[in-house]
Amino acid sequence: MSSFYYQHDELYCEGLSLLEIASKATTPCFVYSKHDLEENCRVFRQAFDQVGMTTHLRYAVKAASNLALLQIIFKAGYGADVVSQGEIMRALTAGLNAEKIVFSGVGKTVSEIEYALKVGVGLFNIESLHELEITAKIAEALGVIASVCLRINPNIDANTHKNITTGTKSNKFGLADSEFHQAVKRLKSNRNLKYCGLSCHIGSQIMQLAPITAAAKHMAECYQHLAKQGLIGCFIDMGGGVGVPYQDSDQRYFSLKEYADELDRIIGPLGVDLIVEPGRIISASVAKLLTKIIYCKESNERYFVICDAGMTELVRPGLYDAYHRIQVVKKKTCQGGEDYNRDMAKTVDIVGPVCESTDWLGKARNLGHVGAGDLLVIDDSGAYCASMASNYNTRPAVAEVLVDGSCYTIIRKPQAIESLWQNERML
């Protein structure tokens, strides 16, 4: 049950009206429910607590990386899946022990690997033979041992959007077959590398269980093949990717319990621990992007609702053709009791102020009777929204607000415009 609800035709988050939040925090801003974040963490963990094998949950920091959100997630017992030095530093700043960090990513730099080894990151997911060799050299120079998993590209289609699939041969992720066998040889002979197991990640927003099953079976076969050669690991990292219903027609065809049970059925008999890296499933539903309508205009037989939020805050529609539900904050009713937001319909495109044709939030929507100054929310904006925001058009980063009951905290202040050119130098 979401903590966002209508009361007297007014949208609330937990015990606070979004009208009140908008009056005190500038729009646009992201509004998060602390209760929903804690509940999502609990529900996901519960699914794996009931299976036989030991499971380590490593939250994908790239999904939503605000320090306050990370604190809540880490307090719930999660570690971190990171893909950059910056994300490692965020996780450490939020209070996480470096041992609970998995360092993934296809383009780790020398300085990033060195930093990760120095602070004691628990596990490296290796994605190329060159990366393995560089990691070994740095570990030797530092006099440490790097714990590594080899990331396999299983060539499995996750049946998701082409831009968020990561496990097919056309994707840049994971070791190619030819490199994999060479990497195994290097592991056997290098004393500064500790083989810990295998990893994979086949994509994001996965709504069917079959690709996950296929990937798990492939991983189990690869692990058993290496075990026969004397390489015994302690982990299989299945990545993340569990999808969420962004629109009413979306349906995930498996429950979290079925997901956990299936991984336990396939990976459990190997006698290793499981790592999973949830991101979207934890944070997507816990936030809405609150935005104000600036103008409404009709142009070439289309009606545009122009908002103060755009692709700089929510790039997913323009990047992935992603759908987000959009709602009014305050429903308007006439004397007869008719709901203007339902009955006085006008099909509109909701767009932002950025100078790009891909700057849209929703197309062909029915918002009803709305005008300049009205507030809207873009649903399910807690994952890959604030963390993918940009300063394009010299637009400052917007505020993030965390609601806890009837109180709220600004967990990120809106960025000062002048700070955007602070590090620049005029001639």
286 φ, ψ to 5°? Answer: -90, 0
Burial classification of residue 208, based on how many CB atoms lie within 10 Å of its CB (0-12 exposed, 13-18 middle, 19 or more buried):
middle
Which tokens go with 191? 């004393």
Find out whether 259 is annotated in a ligand binding site. no
Find out whether 400 is annotated in a ligand binding site. no
Active-site residue 355, yes or no?
yes
What residues does 302 pair with on adjacent strands? 299
Find out whether 241 is annotated in a ligand binding site. yes
Contact in structure between 79 and 60 (CB atoms under 8 Å): no
311 φ, ψ to 5°? Answer: -65, -15
Q: From the candidates 29, 41, 222, 355, which is the catalytic residue? A: 355
Burial annotation 39-54 (CB, 10 A radius, 16+ → b, else e): bbbeebbebbeebebe
Contact in structure between 81 and 102 (CB atoms under 8 Å): yes
Give the distance from CA 423 to its chain's centroid: 29
From start to end of 222-344, where are the E strands? Answer: 235-237, 273-276, 287-299, 302-307, 326-328
What residues does 101 pair with on adjacent strands? 80
Find out whether 252 is annotated in a ligand binding site. no
Which tokens go with 172? 């840049």
Find out whether 316 is annotated in a ligand binding site. yes
Distance between CA 122 and CA 99 in Å, rounded?
4
Task: Detail the residues annotated as belonging to a binding site.
Answer: 241, 277-280, 316, 320, 356, 384
The residues carrying an active-site annotation are: 355
Annotated binding site for pyridoxal 5'-phosphate: 241, 277-280, 384
